[in-house]
Structure 1
Amino acid sequence: MSPIDVAKARRETPGCESVVHLNNAGASLMPDVVLQAVIEHLELEARIGGYEAAAREHDRVEAVYDSVARLLGSSRDEVAIIENATRAWDMAFYSVDFQPGDRILTCGAEYASNYIALLQVAKRTGAVVQVIPDDEHGQISVAALEVELARGARLVSLVHVPSQGGLIQPAAAVGRLCRAAGVPLLLDACQSVGQLPTNVGELQCDMLSATGRKFLRGPRGTGFLYVRRELIEQLEPPFLDLHAAEWTGRETYVMREDARRFENWETSYATKLGLGAAVDYALGWGLDPIADRVQGLAASLRTQLQSLPGVDVQDQGVEKCGIVTFTVEGVTAQAVVARLSAEGINVSLTPASYSRLDLGGRGLEAVVRSSVHYYNTDEEIQRLVDVVALR
């Protein structure tokens, strides 16, 4: 039996009463404790004022940094709370001083938002983007990466769990190679944080970006960035303000010494507190039990979908997570998503434009993306399978 008390998790998740939510890779259903944290602070702002509410809740806001640090196995001064995962990734990436000829190594599963940034920086600076080939399992080839690292690189960008499929990249192996080569690793953990343990020491990443809204079950508009302490002082963010730096003289400024140099002054205190509540809630269940249940549910869903005539599960990788992608012969992915939505089942559509190297390279125009979480049930999975079977 799973150590997760599923009935309790569902009682504490209001949305479970009204929808079959299998779109956790998009945005999970928030538990009550997260919802209340956001609402209570907004109500406080309405009663006494925004600045005053922030001052009153100062200690609780500061505790969010401690919670994220516990989640990642880092120090609190290595954590920045940022408005979303894309901006967190951007703040780290655009802080690197790329020069002409610098090599940026990435993977075939890179997400569109990240790859567009890679292309923009290459165009601006003369840096070169090189895609490391996949191995026979569809994940980044560690052997090929080792060869390219030996040739020199300025940065490695790796998506831990691709948005468009169920594979878990061998991030720890990549991290070991990067650390040995002295090349920083920027890890996009947007889809892994909250469903898998993500200890930055074990992963040996130098920077990690993540969101609150997906498997962490936090509010939208929240994210965070980890930067290894030894790297912080080497990075100057692409923009600074009076929070990230101090104006020390008419023509001088000094950046903060901690990771908050990647933040800016204005922030949503309500959603920041909601993020902290979501992190604490996940830690309360335990990341290992969460991962076990999520991967078990996803494996069951893959098996059942694969048994249906004309249905192809499109997930790759040796180790797989809670994201399950599939296509149905003769039916567009858009039509499948619409049919499931009409039956009160939330999934999402992933077009090839979100990951051209991966989906486009496999000749897939789009896939249906379903994604389970620990509060989902076998009955909900069966409902999805039954609707797909009616094609």
Structure 2
Amino acid sequence: MAKEIQVPTLGESVTEGTIGEWLKKPGDAVAVDEPIVSLETDKVAVEVPSPVAGVIKELKAEEGDTVEVGAVIAIVEEGAAPAAKGDEAARAYEQREDGKEKREADKAAPASAAAKEQARDSAQTLSPAVRRAVLEHGVDPSTIEGTGKDGRLTKEDVVAAAEAKKKGSAGGSIGDAAPDQAATASTPSASSDGGEGAGGERREERVKMTRMRQTIARRLKGAQEEAALLTTFNDCDMSAVIEARTKYKDLFAKKHDIRLGFMGFFAKAACLALKDVPSANAYIEGDEIVYHDYVDISVAVSAPNGLVVPVIRDADKKGFARIEKDIADFGARAKDGKLTMEDMKGGTFTISNGGVFGSLMSTPIINPPQSAVLGLHRIEDRAVVVDGEIVVRPMMYLALSYDHRLIDGREAVTALKIIKEAIEDPTRMLIDL
């Protein structure tokens, strides 16, 4: 019996998505609830599972196609799949790949019969895109730790493993470059004097923007065009926070089972500022200003497909431990592609930490319809004057970008000053000053 696979409801106000990657191809066996396709929406990537066990009969859309909610995208022939089906499909696929009948993994004999069986089973469950990457890069999939759902290998896992292997064989000549940077660095190109480099020529690659990247570009450009953006800066002595973390980090981790980070301090400091400057926690809707008596902080998190901003709900009512756990959970799920639309819905204020990437100073762009965003940067020792003496302190530049249509300069400076003072004297957060 044939079963139609439809595009599921993707979230409030989301009516369509883009086929990001087919995880199964016609002829592949599929189990109940096994993902068969990855759909990209404006904010997240969603894996669509099969509601029945059977064999993929037909795919109704290509990778990159835009599909509406409810559209039929695949047909599954319900029923148990022949045991050898996966093996035959895999062998046929490998034989089509430029005469490469076997992967690198097949050349290395497993240490035991059990290891051999495990490697064979792993090969059978590789998605077409991952299998192709394994063949192209010549890596052993059984030695790679998967970061996908249920530990499944992704194409990014294979590429990262190949680049790590390449770096090792090259003696680390590429250094700490990211996988895509490393690949670029290892590609022969024209020399600086205009002549061709040995062994190759300069190349270009055109890659269609993901749906998420298109949405990010559109929203950020829209924020610049609609809002009256302005940024105010201040610097902050991090000595007190660093001392508090050093003193209590072990006790904190033991009691709450989470590391005490900097974001918890800044989230609570922001809550103090937003309470005293409510316009920074509001937004414009038509000819009205919407104020909030709660603080939902959007935290900018780096994900494989771009920057996402999951929301810490009621941050003003949560303690340090709960905030740190929320942030850690968001980071882990963003890496695995498991954030949901609900995770990113709403938000009244945003904190973006460019310091983790080494940024010294920046002018962050607000996250519409919000009216303000706090930018954090790297901590570095600098010479400052304290009580008439030149001393060295761990300093951080803070940036508050805001919509000048709603927030006056005095209010923006006041809000940032409150955050600075709370970080430099964390006791203020305990006694609500």
Q: The TM-score by the shorter chain falls in which range?
A: under 0.3
Please identify the structure whose Cα radius of gyration is greater.
Answer: 2
Q: More helix by proportion, 1 or 2?
A: 1
Provide the TM-score with structure 2 as the length reference.
0.23
Question: Which structure shows the higher strand fraction?
Answer: 2
Report the TM-score, using the length of structure 1 for normalisation: 0.25
